[in-house]
Chain A
Amino acid sequence: MREILSRLLATGGRLRSAVSRDESDGDQLATDGGATVKTTRRDSLRNSLPVEWELIESAPFWLPPVLFAGFFVYGAIAWNFLLSLTDYNGLGGAQYETFDLSMYSRLLSDGAFWQAAQNTVVLLVVFTVLCLALGLFVAILIDQQIRFENTFRTIYLLPMSLSFVVTATMWAWVYNARNGVLNQFLRLFNLEGAIVGLLRPAGVNAEVIQWLSWNTTALAAVIFALIWQFSGYAMVVFLAGLRAIPTEHYEAARVDGASTVRLYARVIIPQLRASAVSASVVLMVFALKAFDFIYALRGSQPGANMDILATMMYRVAFDSLQWAYGSAVAIVLFALALLVIGPYLYSEYRRGEL
């Protein structure tokens, strides 16, 4: 409080780069970083305003939206955490009786939870790595001064404009066991029979490849379709990164006689670290949210083979109406997201990007 008062009293709490002006309401002198400039009385009043005044002036703009969004985002998360400590079930009149960590201990001994958590982590890592690799490769291709660059870029990014539900509908048809695109395509080259035959000794007894039903292929099928949808995003980010690298770096490497592969491996790709970090954070968040995709692919009851934490949360809370238990799953998912974004936001802050 004393600090604020003293700053209020101090003149020129926050000096601006004052602009010299002639106005009739009385001129006076004010110092700005040592330089003497002519300003009006009104200007000097504004110059003498401390930072706290700016807070009050800007509050009408940012405070209402922040309260509005904050109520829905952080208020809801806090409420969700409190709920996860209860044994609250459903919207009906039922009240909670306990207030402890029992939902979390129940999670620890729930096989379905561990399966979903494992699937989530596998999805997160494999999807992000492959998506980055493909996006980087495509971005390098597009960066080679090609013709029709805009057309290629537009088509590669197109899947991202589609909703998860639409892509899931399309890929359900691609993966359809009986006459889906993938199996029909494999059949053209007699590959399907060969694959099924190869799997027979492993105990697989089927006529066709059931991409979405087999434990070994279901998660891979989901990951592949998600890569299809989001590698265009990684491409856009890497392309922006590539375009920011000065031409001299290419020329210097050329003068040194470096081959194209060496040029990219040693000079260009190491400079794309920032792009890779920001793209991977966003991709991981997409992967954590892939609920819509799996829901539409398999309905609200996916087999354990493609259940992720996001789908498990919905199933537990809204299909079996165990709200407190679903909230506990949601908090685990939230903690996982924090693990991803916390370090990212901190490093952005350190770099002065925020």
Chain B
Amino acid sequence: MSIRDGGFIDELRSTENSRLGLYALLLAGIVFYLFPVETAVMTMFKTESAFARTLPFAPPGGDGFTLDALATAWNTLRPGLLNSLLMAIPATIVSALLGSMTAYGLTTISWRGQVGVVVLIIAGIFIPYQAVLVPLAQFWFQVLPGLLNGFVNTVFGFITGGNWQYPSRNGYVQLLQLSITHAAYGIPICTLLFRSYYQSISDEMIEAARLDGASAFSIYRNIILPLSLPMFAVTLIYQFTQVYNDLLFALVLVNEPASQVATQRLAALTGGVVQSFNTTMAGAIVAALPTLLVYIMFGEQFAKGVAGE
């Protein structure tokens, strides 16, 4: 960033004392933002006796680092991690793809009145999920099974013998339902991200393709999609962390223990009667691993998604 070179900034640079103070504040910021994480990591590596003897943020001391708590937490959370990935990856891809299509239909093809649709979609980003929870549970556990059972038993009654049951208590079906739900609720934010990106694409390329007689679909397929790849990276990364991190929908939609996701298992571990902080801290770190890895590898793209750029 060189646009600020010279003038005011040079003056700031030249005053050594204020620069020292500036870096002291920035380092204090690092302590503030990292101390809970550092404490969690230190606690995770301690034995029970070292846990009792040492300060929470200090290293384990004489007993040394141990992986016992980590192993316990890993065994508790591993199925949850797998379920989370199984649920979050398809939901992320579907919502990003649908968001890109929506943004294309509402941006590069212009028709009057589309602002109304855009407002409805963007408002969807800000809806508190509590306002949809009860109908959501009713839809997945009552309405849809009722419809499907009725349909299958009416149409294919001679095969199923008239007592086909939509397996709403099947763990994998619940995960699929959760994934579909996340895909639907991800569409608004994905649309917003793609829309601001498509608004910056020059019209001329699209106009030229149209004049050559390209259909709306082939323009999307051959011009827009290849151009969107950087934005897909941003959207997929941001949306993956959002879906993976959610607890509320999972609490309501997944009640089979075998198909619980990582956040659910961690919440159970944290809220348990017997609290061993070594294990819960290890659990927090393990549950955070996928999004932490994504963040460390793609921090810049994540920041772009956060800022809605």
1/0 per residue, CB under 8 A from A, across B258-276: the answer is 0000010011011100000
State the CA gap A318–B134 with chains docked (Å).
9
Indicate whether A144 sits within 8 Å of B22 (C-beta atoms), given known contacts A72-B132, A167-B36, A228-B36.
yes
Instruction: Please pick, from A69, A169, A240, the residue contacting B284 in the complex, using a CB distance under 8 A.
Output: A169
Indicate if B71 sits at the interface (CB-CB under 8 A).
no
Indicate if B156 sits at the interface (CB-CB under 8 A).
no
Interface 9-mer from A106-114, A191-199, A211-219, A247-255: A247-255
A73 touches B184 (CB 8 A): yes
Indicate whether A337 sits within 8 Å of B127 (C-beta atoms), given known contacts A163-B291, A171-B36.
yes
Indicate if A66 sits at the interface (CB-CB under 8 A).
yes
Chain B nearest Cβ from A252, distance in angstroms? 10
Q: Main secondary structure on chain B at its contact with chain A?
A: helix
Interface 9-mer from A94-102, A125-133, A288-296: A288-296
Closest to B215 in A: A57
Residues 121-178 of A at the B interface (beta carbon under 8 Å)? 138, 141-142, 144-146, 152-174, 176
Indicate if B26 sits at the interface (CB-CB under 8 A).
yes
Chain A nearest Cβ from B118, distance in angstroms? 5
Interface 9-mer from B6-14, B62-70, B157-165, B226-234: B6-14
Residues 6-23 of A at the B interface (beta carbon under 8 Å)? 16-19, 21
Indicate if B277 sits at the interface (CB-CB under 8 A).
yes
State the CA gap A330–B136 with chains docked (Å).
13
Indicate if B104 sits at the interface (CB-CB under 8 A).
yes
A77 touches B131 (CB 8 A): yes
Chain A nearest Cβ from B77, distance in angstroms? 11
A341 touches B280 (CB 8 A): no
Closest to A39 in B: B211
Indicate whether A354 sits within 8 Å of B122 (C-beta atoms), given known contacts A58-B105, A174-B36, A330-B134.
yes
Indicate if B91 sits at the interface (CB-CB under 8 A).
no
A163 touches B245 (CB 8 A): yes
Q: How large is the interface on B (under 10, 10 to 19, 20 to 34, 35 or more residues)?
A: 35 or more
Closest to B3 in A: A247
Indicate if B20 sits at the interface (CB-CB under 8 A).
no
State the CA gap A158–B133 with chains docked (Å).
29
Residues of B within 8 A of A18 (CB): 211
1/0 per residue, CB under 8 A from B, across A23-67: the answer is 000000000000000011011001000011011011111111110
Q: Main secondary structure on chain A at its contact with chain B?
A: helix
State the CA gap A344–B141 with chains docked (Å).
36
How many inter-chain contacts with C-beta < 8 Å in the A-B complex? 335
Closest to B203 in A: A17
Closest to B302 in A: A161
Closest to B34 in A: A155
Chain B nearest Cβ from A173, distance in angstroms? 5
B288 touches A162 (CB 8 A): yes
Residues of B within 8 A of A62 (CB): 101-102, 104-106, 117
A158 touches B33 (CB 8 A): yes
Residues of B within 8 A of A144 (CB): 9, 12, 22
Instruction: Please pick, from B12, B102, B127, B307, the residue contacting A66 in the complex, using a CB distance under 8 A.
Output: B102
Residues of B within 8 A of A309 (CB): 130
Indicate if B235 sits at the interface (CB-CB under 8 A).
no
1/0 per residue, CB under 8 A from A, across B186-212: the answer is 011001000000000001000110110
1/0 per residue, CB under 8 A from B, across A229-240: the answer is 000110011001
Residues of B within 8 A of A58 (CB): 104-106, 109, 111, 216
B247 touches A68 (CB 8 A): no
Closest to A88 in B: B134
A163 touches B247 (CB 8 A): yes
Counting from the closest, the 3 A-B pairs by CB-CB distance are: A61-B105, A62-B105, A163-B245
13 contacts between A and B (CB under 8 A): A16-B207, A61-B109, A65-B99, A69-B184, A158-B295, A169-B269, A169-B270, A172-B280, A247-B7, A291-B248, A300-B271, A314-B130, A337-B127
Binding site for B on A (CB under 8 A): 16-19, 21, 39-40, 42-43, 46, 51-52, 54-55, 57-66, 68-77, 79-80, 83, 91, 138, 141-142, 144-146, 152-174, 176, 179-181, 184-185, 188, 228, 232-233, 236-237, 240, 243, 247, 250-251, 253-254, 260, 263, 278, 281, 285, 288-289, 291-292, 295-296, 298-300, 309-310, 313-314, 317-318, 323, 326-327, 329-331, 333-334, 337, 340-341, 345, 349, 354
